[in-house]
Structure 1
Amino acid sequence: MRLNNKQWIQVLLSFTVAIWIFWFLYKDIKIQSLLAVLNEASFSWITASILVSLLGYWIRAWRWKLLLEAGEKIQIRTLRSFIALMIGNLTNLLVPRAGEVGRCVVLSKTEDQQVGKILGTVILERTIDMFFLILTMLLAFVLEGGVFVQLLNDLVSLESLFRKIMGYLPLLVGGLLVAGIFVYFIFHKYRDSGFLKKIKHFLRDLVTGFISLKKVNSQFAFWASSAAIWIIYYLMMLFVAWAIPSTASLSLSSLLMVMVMGSIGMIAPVQGGIGTFHALVAFILMTYGLTNEAGKIFAVIVHGSQVLTVIVTGLVSVGIFFKITAQKASKTY
């Protein structure tokens, strides 16, 4: 996947922002403090967190396979979708959000499928993940309602936000209508151009992938795996919390809140949630009585263990991918 100059500037800008946030957070944290916590930590629990995260990636790859095969007379090996997924995750550490397209390109080369259709399944995946994130936030609100309301009031004035939305609502609706009319006339006037035909073909593949959910052979397996992915996210956080003395006594519901904040931090358009994940996790842990230093060290251990897992597994997946494509190329001669 090649980037133009503008995209490279965006990548460098997001990386600079991520590094600046990370530096700002950890400039007062001494490396000796981190090493002291690691010396006291239980590496058995940290290893368990890494292993369960790998299980989560495998389940995600299997769920993706269910979507890809829905309504189609094809069979995709879970290993192939796992390889594409991990290469995509590795790409996200370099270029934010590019991994979603990258894993589609990888799978299209190993399975000879249309990128547009594969991308449709990825968009559907992300939509469902957002749905489960909202459900998790609602559960956290029920269990930790007081803390949740306090955080919202600290971060943003709800009344002020509502007034701003209502004030800009007519402008937003009008802008969407104008944009819709403009797009309609452009497509109507140039509907026979080759470029628009390519766009239509891509969008058709996109919609085909998106509606594949209705055709999944086992709806129970799909939704159960979707729930399992988020349960595993929670277990990853829980195991690391149990590994560190300062967080071992946190309640199960408070760790659910930590997971929610960490998930929100990962959504930010920076490489691998660097900085934003750490800031939000440390912030919520201070709400539960941990020191600023303890919260930041916990965040860097959780995030660092997962980043190392993605790097190692992603690089191995890249090697396997090149081997698969080389074998396919040799068969064409």
Structure 2
Amino acid sequence: MLGVFLIGLSIYKSTQEERNQLYENIINADLLFVFLSLICGILSHLSRAYRWKFLLSPMGYKIKLHNSFMAVMSGYLANLGIPRSGEVLRGASIATYENVPFEKAFGTIISERVADLVMLLLILTIAFISQTQYILLVIETYQINPFMGILVLASLFFLGLLLLKILKKSHIPFIIKIRKFGIGILEGMKSILTMKNKYAFIFHTIFIWLMYLLMFYLIKFAVPGASTISIGQILVAFVVGSFAISVTNGGVGVYPIAIGAVLALYGINQQTGEAFGWVIWGSQTLLNLVIGSLSIFLIPVVNKK
């Protein structure tokens, strides 16, 4: 609903000339570079599916790559509807078709997210160092309070410690079941420390994020007027777009507007910036819709025995 509201608000506030320019920039996008961007997206998804095998292996589970890939893509599709529901569906899919306990599969997904967060923070650090002036301008313009975010994370951490203490000492049957489930999740999370293929895991983690950056970067050559956007500006827009996707259901409505707003701070025409956001978001979302839908349909067919 928020995404639809923001789209409607953006259309309402723009003039007819601005809407026409945005539309022209989108439909005149160079399909060759859009296609190359989609290839990078597919490679990142395949790499993520393969990387998952390294986390499940220490617990004795050897999953098939095609099942891992379809579970990953089903998860991406689910996230377009309900934020973060994809992780649950992904764990449930691999639990159903590979006989991996759900809580252990879900624990490995949490470990993956921790590794991905480290990569995002690394990119954020590089962007901050190279674009300090503009990032501070973004924080000031949109009144972002980073200390509030730190406070929320610290509160959640201490709340989690308190909850763990309650779960550890309780003798209530329902709480005991939750404790056993939590132990399974913890075992899945610990697999990142016991896996044999640590260097391969690191390689795939770096590769996944390089593909993310490349699929984002290629769109500058697809959208008319976007070729002047620098690598530093790309990094800042990429970080903002990543957060927009994380806090919404796949960035619906929010992603293109956020990208356009950030690039506008660099003097990039707003219609060019928003067209950039719409093309990258629209192409990757279409990819997830098509392959995700096929995955949900095919995974029971492939595993019908």
Shorter-chain TM-score above 0.5: yes
- Does 1:246 find its partner at 2:231? no
Shift of 1:39: 4.4
| Other-structure match for 2:269 | 291
Change (3 A) 1:55 1:26: farther
| Other-structure match for 2:135 | 148
| Other-structure match for 1:319 | 297
Aligned with 2:258 (options 280, 305, 308)? 280
| Other-structure match for 1:265 | 244
Give yes or no for contact 2:170–2:176 (8 Å, CA) kept in 1. no
Change (3 A) 1:92 1:172: closer
| Distance in 1 between residues matched to 2:175 and 2:89, nearest whole Å | 23
The code of the aligned residue for 2:40 comes to V
Change (3 A) 1:172 1:285: closer
Q: Which runs of 5+ in 1 are unaligned?
A: 1-15, 329-333
| Other-structure match for 1:74 | 61
- Counterparts of 1:1-333 in structure 2, within 5 Å, are 16-27=1-12, 28=14, 32-69=20-57, 71-156=58-143, 176=158, 180=162, 184=165, 188-191=169-172, 193=173, 195-268=174-247, 270-325=248-303, 327-328=304-305
Q: Quick check: 16-25 or 33-42, which moved more?
A: 33-42
Q: SS at the partner of 1:273?
A: coil
The code of the aligned residue for 1:82 comes to F
Cα RMSD (Å) of the superposition?
2.7
What is the total number of aligned residue pairs between the two structures?
301
| Distance in 2 between residues matched to 1:302 and 1:177, nearest whole Å | 38
Q: Quick check: 195-204 or 97-106, which moved more?
A: 195-204
Change (3 A) 1:185 1:213: closer
| Distance in 1 between residues matched to 2:101 and 2:204, nearest whole Å | 25
| Distance in 2 between residues matched to 1:235 and 1:318, nearest whole Å | 28
Q: SS at the partner of 2:202?
A: helix
Per-residue CA deviation, residues 22-46 of structure 1 (Å, 9 max, x unaligned), is 2222343766434422443211000
Q: SS at the partner of 2:250?
A: helix
Q: TM-score, normalised by structure 2?
A: 0.90
| Distance in 2 between residues matched to 1:246 and 1:38, nearest whole Å | 11
Give yes or no for contact 1:52–1:235 (8 Å, CA) kept in 2. yes
| Distance in 2 between residues matched to 1:47 and 1:183, nearest whole Å | 47
Per-residue CA deviation, residues 114-134 of structure 1 (Å, 9 max, x unaligned), is 000000011111111111111
Q: SS at the partner of 1:260?
A: helix
Shift of 1:279: 2.5
Per-residue CA deviation, residues 195-242 of structure 1 (Å, 9 max, x unaligned), is 223212211110111010112222111111111111111111111111
| Distance in 1 between residues matched to 2:55 and 2:7, nearest whole Å | 37
Change (3 A) 1:312 1:153: same
| Distance in 1 between residues matched to 2:195 and 2:51, nearest whole Å | 10
Change (3 A) 1:35 1:210: same
Give yes or no for contact 1:110–1:324 (8 Å, CA) kept in 2. no
Give yes or no for contact 1:26–1:296 (8 Å, CA) kept in 2. no
Change (3 A) 1:54 1:165: closer
Q: Which has the higher Rg, Structure 1 or Structure 2?
A: 1
Residue identity over aligned pairs, in percent, reads: 25
Shift of 1:155: 2.6
Q: TM-score, normalised by structure 1?
A: 0.83
Per-residue CA deviation, residues 29-79 of structure 1 (Å, 9 max, x unaligned), is 76643442244321100000011100010011111121111x133321221
Change (3 A) 1:216 1:121: same
Give yes or no for contact 1:29–1:293 (8 Å, CA) kept in 2. no
| Distance in 2 between residues matched to 1:185 and 1:216, nearest whole Å | 30
Give yes or no for contact 2:41–2:211 (8 Å, CA) kept in 1. yes
